[in-house]
Amino acid sequence: MIGRPGAPAGGVRARCRATARRAPAGRGTRVQIVTFERRDESRGPAYEPSRGDAAPGLESLEATAPGQRRLGSILASGLHSGAVVDLNRALAIRLAQEDAGAPEAEADSLLPADTLAFLRRGPDSLAAARAALEFAQDALARYDAPDLVRAGAVLPRAGVRLCAPVPRPGKIVGVARNYPAHAAERGGPASGEQPVLFLKAPSAVIGPEDAIRLPRVAAHVDYEGELAAVIGARAREVAESEALAFVAGYCAANDVTARDIQDARGQRSIAKSCDGFAPLGPVLVTADEVPDPQDLAIRTVLSGEVVQSARTKEMLFGVAALVAFASRLMTLEPGDVILTGTPAGVGAARKPPRWLRDGDVIEVGIERVGCLRTYVRGAPGPGLR
């Protein structure tokens, strides 16, 4: 018989809120947020909800369908290291153990399975995510705990497909020539007294397991490794000194660009908005894990060759300045993404130019944030005519 904590149904909610109020930045369980889909081949008894043999109260939990996007976190250590915890489901199971009358509904209210809804809830949802992850880690280490694998709350890495941490941002805001060395290699001045911003289509976003497919409309496709800041709270005309409080977290990004469209036609946004031109991931590292976004190493490796290497302190406009400036022009909303600019070393500046081609592997690694690895597929097209 599984032991029950015996806490009242409201216990998790109260503890989550208390944790959100008192947790110092950078402390507590590290939550690496991912968006994932269960693969079709993971269907089977080992991944379906328990029907009463794992723990009482779980038999009412509905199975998650393959292809349904869910919010998760990657286990960093232990026997199940690398596995993905379905945070919403883990919290529902914890609530079921506390005799909550409607554990799934309660979990949805505390910790939505949808990324944008999660971001809109702010610190409370992050505290709930930590509580769910801690519960999962504890249960996996105990012999008398609910079987979270059988209950569908912990899935082996091979059983899931990682999507972009924010699969469809409301908007993507990019900044041009934010590293002086990159501006110099492109033969033009760096940004002046204010950042030069552009918009990139949200439909360009792909995840860490998707390929960049070279479009027929572009002959010269280039890479741009960048730090991406994800907005976590509605921001309108915020001060630079307060701007980082509106950032939920960070991930690696590749601002893929069709140089022939950008240079010959002068259409920066269009050149950066083809399908697949905005890889994001692999995880969203919460802002408390990155106390200073201006002190990070960033490096891009193209098919085994280091092509970009810099530190974010080289930015002309740091993350706080970019958030503050952008918020003066438009309201930033939870889930919006700011691409902070690329360092020197892009393919267009090499002699001869190095355009992306079929079979290339691009790795954008950022200190404390992670490494985004993306594969290139297809042949360059003839370009726009």
Report, as an integer, the average pLDDT of 57-71.
73
Predicted confidence (pLDDT) at residue 371 exceeds the cutoff of 50: yes
pLDDT band at 16 (very low <50, low <70, confident <90, very high): low
pLDDT for position 101 = 77
User: What confidence tens digit (pLDDT) does each residue in 261-308 have?
Assistant: 998 767 889 999 999 999 999 999 999 999 999 999 999 999 999 999
Predicted confidence (pLDDT) at residue 136 exceeds the cutoff of 70: yes
User: What confidence tens digit (pLDDT) does each residue in 206-237 have?
Assistant: 999 999 999 999 999 999 999 999 999 999 99
Q: Find out whether 92 and 104 touch, Cβ atoms under 8 Å.
A: yes
Report, as an integer, the average pLDDT of 102-121.
93
Predicted confidence (pLDDT) at residue 56 exceeds the cutoff of 60: no
Predicted confidence (pLDDT) at residue 76 exceeds the cutoff of 50: yes
pLDDT band at 41 (very low <50, low <70, confident <90, very high): low
pTM metric for this prediction? 0.89
User: What confidence tens digit (pLDDT) does each residue in 144-179 have?
Assistant: 778 899 888 999 999 999 999 999 999 999 999 999
User: What confidence tens digit (pLDDT) does each residue in 330-362 have?
Assistant: 999 999 999 999 999 999 999 999 999 999 999
pLDDT for position 146 = 80
Listed in sequence order, the residues at least 6 apart from 176 whose beta carbon sits closer than 8 Å to its beta carbon are: 191, 196, 197, 198, 268, 341
- Which of 79 and 280 is assigned the larger pLDDT? 280
Report, as an integer, the average pLDDT of 233-244.
98
- Which of 99 and 315 is assigned the larger pLDDT? 315
Can you give the three-state secondary structure of the chain, one letter per residue? CCCCCCCCCCHHHHHHHHHHHHCCCCCCCCCEEEEEEECHHHCCHHHCCCCCCCCCCCCCCCCCCCCCEEEEEECCCCCCCCCEEEHHHHHHHHHHHCCCCCHHHHHHHHCCCCHHHHHHHCHHHHHHHHHHHHHHHHHHHCCCCCCCCCCCCEECHHHEEEECCCCCCCCEEEEECCCHHHHHHCCCCCCCCCCEEEEECHHHEECCCCCEECCCCCCCEECCEEEEEEECCCECCCCHHHHHHHEEEEEEEECCEEHHHHHHHCCHHHHCCCCCCEEEEEEEEEHHHCCCCCCCEEEEEECCEEEEEEEHHHCCCCHHHHHHHHHHHCCECCCCEEECCCCCCCHHHCCCCCCCCCCCEEEEEECCCEEEEEEEECCCCCCCC
pLDDT band at 46 (very low <50, low <70, confident <90, very high): very low
CATH of domain 172-377: 3.90.850.10
pLDDT band at 13 (very low <50, low <70, confident <90, very high): low
Domain ranges of the chain: 11-163, 172-377
pLDDT for position 93 = 92
pLDDT for position 223 = 98
